[in-house]
Chains A and B, each alone.
Chain A
Amino acid sequence: MLTLFRSRDANAFHEFIMDARTWWAVQLFPRLREEYEVRRELAAREGRQVRSAEDVALLFSKSTLYAYFCWLERHVQKSKYSSSRWGLVAQIAREPETAAARLNAEGPLELDPTLRIPEYYAAHDLHQHPGNLHNDPNAGLVYEASALSIHPRTRKNELHERFVDLVRREGEFARVLDMGCGFGKSTLPLAQAFPRAEVIGVDVSAPCLKLAAAQAREVPNIRFRQADARDTGLDEAKFDLVTSTMLLHELPEDSVEATLAETRRLLAPGGVSIHLDFRTEDPFWQFIMYGHGMRNNEPFLEPLIRMDLAAAYRKAGFEDVRIEPFAEREGATDPSNPFWRFPWAAIIARKPA
């Protein structure tokens, strides 16, 4: 039973939205995949092979099922955020006492009123979030609530717990920076996993950082700072681990390169970088992800997947670059998994000692 709001009607609406999203991922998506296999086979009989996302797009150009797949992906998200009746933005604003209680709890936070919001960031309302993550004062709360229905069939926080497990396998760390930390969903588990480490989270969104800091007020080894990941203003060689989850695909290519350069600058010699994002070599999944970027107002998702990331890392001065599939839940990366998911990948690299 969802208890996001005092209003039972609003909670029931968001339960419906979550179920609709799950249905899209576990019922409709497998049908789309089946249709793809049929269309691919028919094309092969005519001598046409599928080698790229563009080839897949041609197969689906007149598919009614694909039109509904797209429509639901776009509009379930739109209803969740923007429905005038119970959408997250309207409903959270309607219960200001709850929002104030969550956001006004003083936490370890340093805001930078002089920070210039990057143009590429201000130009789009990411995830169809009206006002985007920097302009809506309740953005942290909206984003937190929205995240509940992003990863169907995945337990709450499971992805971030598994990310911490991945980090542990790379070593013990004492000085950790989490870039693009948002409302602290990955920063908090990192601080709890490494209780003797000093953990800093940076993000450009003040509303998200306020929620992150409020939730971290009882966690002694964590602090948050408003900063651009491309130019954090933090001391050189200060960290032995720099992470991010779901940051790179929100950046244009030159900003990805700038973020990798800043990651390297901040790491001590021998330090480790682990950025979690999306990679896929499969034309069908590339097609699905390029479309997702368009339908979810994330215009830099496709350029990131097309980018030669290993080369970009080497150019930024990293070594031992590994790009590994990441399972957000047990068995998620198994080829027999028929459900929609993000093609997660951990990009692990080391600054030369």
Chain B
Amino acid sequence: MKSTDPVVGPQAEQTFFSDPAIDRLVNMVFALTAEVHVLRDRLALLEDALEKRGVVNVSQLDTAIPEGALEARLAKERTALVQHVLEGLQGRLASKS
């Protein structure tokens, strides 16, 4: 479906594709890629630290069950991830054009 949405709000984002839906979809892909990079960066730091200290066996992580504070932390991370990935769908920008 080619979007014929009216411009809503004073700060409607520019579009570059024949269908603005594509612009917003690419926004999600880009944000997700950034998230994946940040995650891989953190994971590499963590694995390196754990390995050097001999704290865990990496294979044990595969079957771990997060609880308590860790479970809450993961939920908070997940909420921020959803906001980041989906915010581009609104077709708005924070700055004036």
Cβ of B31 and Cβ of A123 under 8 Å apart?
no
Complex Cα–Cα for A71 and B93 (A): 14
- Taking the closest CB of chain A, its distance from the CB of B57, in whole angstroms, is 24
For residue B89, CB closer than 8 A to chain A, the reply is no
For residue A124, CB closer than 8 A to chain B, the reply is yes
For residue A333, CB closer than 8 A to chain B, the reply is no
Interface 9-residue window, one of A125-133, A169-177, A241-249: A125-133
Cβ of B94 and Cβ of A71 under 8 Å apart?
no
Per a CB cutoff under 8 Å, which of A13, A16, A67, A297 touches B97? Answer: A297
Cβ of B83 and Cβ of A124 under 8 Å apart?
no
Interface 9-residue window, one of B37-45, B58-66, B67-75: B37-45
Residue of A nearest to B83 (CB): A84
**In the complex, per-residue mask of B6-46: 1 if CB is within 8 Å of any chain A CB, else 0:** 00000000101100000100110011011101100110010
B interface with A by C-beta (< 8 Å) = 14, 16-17, 23, 26-27, 30-31, 33-35, 37-38, 41-42, 45, 80-81, 83-84, 87-88, 93-97
Q: 9 interchain pairs (CB within 8 A)?
A: A8-B41, A9-B42, A12-B38, A67-B16, A75-B30, A75-B88, A81-B94, A128-B95, A297-B96
A interface with B by C-beta (< 8 Å) = 8-9, 12-13, 15-17, 20, 67-68, 70-71, 74-76, 78-79, 81-86, 89, 123-125, 128-132, 294-295, 297
A-B contacts besides A16-B38, A84-B83, A125-B96, 10 pairs, CB < 8 Å: A12-B37, A67-B16, A76-B30, A81-B95, A84-B80, A85-B81, A89-B94, A123-B96, A125-B95, A131-B95
